[in-house]
Amino acid sequence: MVLNEEKRIIYVNPAWEQLCRVSFASIRELPFHDFALRNPHLESLVEKTMETGASHHEMDYSYRTPDGGDVPVFITTSLIAGIAGTTAGLALTFQDISYFKEIETNTKQAHRLHLLGKLAATMAHEIKNPLGGIRGSAQLLDMETRDQDQKVLLQAIIKEVDRINRIVETALDLKRSRELRTSPVNIHKTLNEILLLEKRNEKSSGINFKVEFDPSIPHIPADEAQLTQLFLNLIRNGVEAMDGEGEMAISTRVSSEYQVQQDAQKPPSRMLLVEVRDKGKGIPPEVRENLFTPFFTTKKAGSGLGLIVCQQVAEKHKGWIKLGQNPEGGTSVKVWLPLK
Ligand SMILES: Nc1ncnc2c1ncn2[C@@H]1O[C@H](COP(=O)(O)OP(=O)(O)OP(=O)(O)O)[C@@H](O)[C@H]1O
Ligand SMILES: [Mg+2]
């Protein structure tokens, strides 16, 4: 972006327009002050540069776009010298650092997973053995007693023990990270089977599932059982966020944004994008930060491992997942998987 000596915007390049989601036509000749209303810190950078003549950097700035989004950028300001020591204007360079940010987040997540794995492995046996004892004793007592109230309580013990057991098993599975058993998978068939099961589930009986499948999508190389786990977890999260009522959309298409290079000898492969959109309560910022923290849950009976499993399955397939806002309210979860 270039400003003239009156601090009016006289040029931005197309890359800037795309990054900041503003067209040049809409800000041409605009005083920088008016442009920077949503980003007051930028104005102080420009002021400092004009006053001192020195360049300034902002390594990690969150640029607020007109549609209310945030783009992480690296900003540099520098004076443009005119003739005979005058100032002709000022240049601002914006560098998109979202890629680095994502790597940083992924590394943190990988680290958390590693810690979880270690913890799970050491604790699993310690937990599972006594659990077996508790369950067995509760079962014995249940067989011996005729008192209905006691039976209800004993059944509750058994049910809760089974729940803890499942949590420990999931955590252990993450550590063991099951190998992929890859075969050509018809993603639409897999998704339809999950939906068929879900429709029979009492908790989702009030949900209207809408599918938008792109019929041209070929079979993808994947582990069907693990993909089922992934999408079932996402769909359940959506159902839970909507308290079992409303519309949920599941769509597939070929992604135009990304390609992955799996092998230097072959051309990069295109990605399949599966999106699960719910109209639930959405994800508040304090929850968003912890989505992939092991055992983090806002639910009474949640284990807080669902999304981590999803992420791990996606990554094993050389894909990834991303949670965001559904423009129609609620949450949108996107899963990218290689088509080849
Ligand atoms: N679609 C969604 N809408 C709103 N919040 C969500 C959604 N998906 C996940 N979350 C939030 O993220 C948290 C973590 O989700 P995750 O699936 O990992 O665990 P969980 O659903 O709480 O437990 P589990 O999946 O083991 O039953 C949830 O407790 C919830 O607060
Ligand atoms: Mg879940």
Distances (CA, A) of 62 to 69, 76, 191, 247, 283: 9, 14, 37, 34, 20
Report the pLDDT value the prediction gives residue 268, as an integer from 0 to 100. 72
Other beta carbons less than 10 A from residue 221's beta carbon: 16
pTM score, whole prediction: 0.68
Say how many Å lie between the CA of residue 274 and the centre of ligand 2.
18
Q: What tens digit of pLDDT does each residue of 254-297 get?
A: 987 766 666 667 777 789 999 999 999 999 999 998 898 878 89
Beta bridge pairs of residue 185: 220
Tell me: pLDDT of 165 over 80: yes
Question: Hey, what are 310's tokens?
Answer: 């999803």
How far does residue 298's CA lie from ligand 1's centre (Å)? 7
Determine the Cα–Cα distance for residues 242 and 330; give it in Å rounded to an integer: 8
Tell me: the pLDDT tens digits for 38-64? 899 999 999 999 999 899 998 889 999
DSSP class of residue 8 equals B
How far, in Å, CA of 75 to CA of 94, rounded? 5
Reduced to 3 states, what is the DSSP secondary structure of residue 337?
Answer: strand
Average pLDDT over all residues of the chain: 90
Ligand 2 centroid to Cα of residue 171, in Å, is 14
Give, as residue ranges, everything with CB less than 5 Å from ion ligand 2.
Answer: 237, 306
Q: How far is the CA of 101 from the centre of ligand 1 (A)?
A: 23
Closest C-alpha to ligand 1, atom 30: 298
Which ligand does the CA of 331 lie closest to?
A: 1
Domains of the chain: 2-96 (3.30.450.20), 101-176 (1.10.287), 183-338 (3.30.565.10)
Q: What angle (nearest 5°) sits at the alpha carbon of residue 308, between those of residues 220 and 225?
A: 35
Q: Could you report the per-residue pLDDT of 208-231, keeping only the tens digit for each?
A: 999 999 999 999 999 999 999 999
Nearest CA to ligand 1 atom 17: 306
> Residue 16's closest CA among 26, 6, 8?
26
Q: How distant, in Å, are the alpha carbons of 10, 97, 185, 292 from that of 16? A: 13, 13, 40, 32
Complete DSSP assignment for 72-110: EEEEEEEEEE-GGG-EEEEEEEEEE-HHHHHHHHHHHHH
Please tell me the predicted confidence (pLDDT) of residue 146: 94
Buried b / exposed e over 43-78, threshold 16 CB at 10 Å, is: eebbeebbeeeeebebeebebbeeeeeebbbebbbe
List own/partner pairs for 281-289 with CB under 8 A and 24 or more apart.
281/241, 281/242, 281/330, 282/241, 282/325, 282/326, 282/329, 282/330, 282/331, 283/323, 283/331, 288/323
Secondary structure class of 264 (helix, strand, coil): coil
Ligand 2 mean position, distance from CA 303 (Å): 7
Q: Does 99 score more than 70 pLDDT?
A: yes
Judge whether 210 and 226 are in contact, CB under 8 Å: no
Q: Which residues have C-beta within 8 Å of that of residue 297, sequence separation ≥ 6?
A: 303, 304
Radius of gyration of the chain from its Cα atoms, rounded to whole angstroms: 26
Quick one: pLDDT at residue 284?
94
Residue 117: which residues within 8 A CB-CB, separation 6 or more?
A: 171, 174, 175
Query: CA 262: distance to chain centroid?
Result: 22
142 Cβ contact partners less than 8 Å away, ≥ 6 residues apart: 151, 154, 155, 158
d(CA 50, CA 78): 9
Q: At what angle do helices 306-316 and 148-176 cross, to 10 degrees?
A: 30
Ligand 1-lining residues (CB < 6 angstroms): 233, 237-238, 241, 278, 280-283, 287, 291, 296-299, 302-307, 331
Name the region of 44 (left: φ>0; alpha: ψ -120 to 50; beta: rest).
alpha
Q: How far is the CA of 308 from the centre of ligand 2 (A)?
A: 9
Beta strand 206-212 with 245-260 is parallel
Which atom belonging to ligand 1 lies closest to the Cα atom of 292?
18
207, 247 contact by CB (below 8 A): yes
Give the residue, out of 173, 231, 233, 237, with the most ligand 1 atoms within 8 A of its beta carbon, to mutate for a pocket test.
Answer: 237
> Per mean pLDDT, which range of 24-38, 176-190, 324-338 is the poorest?
176-190
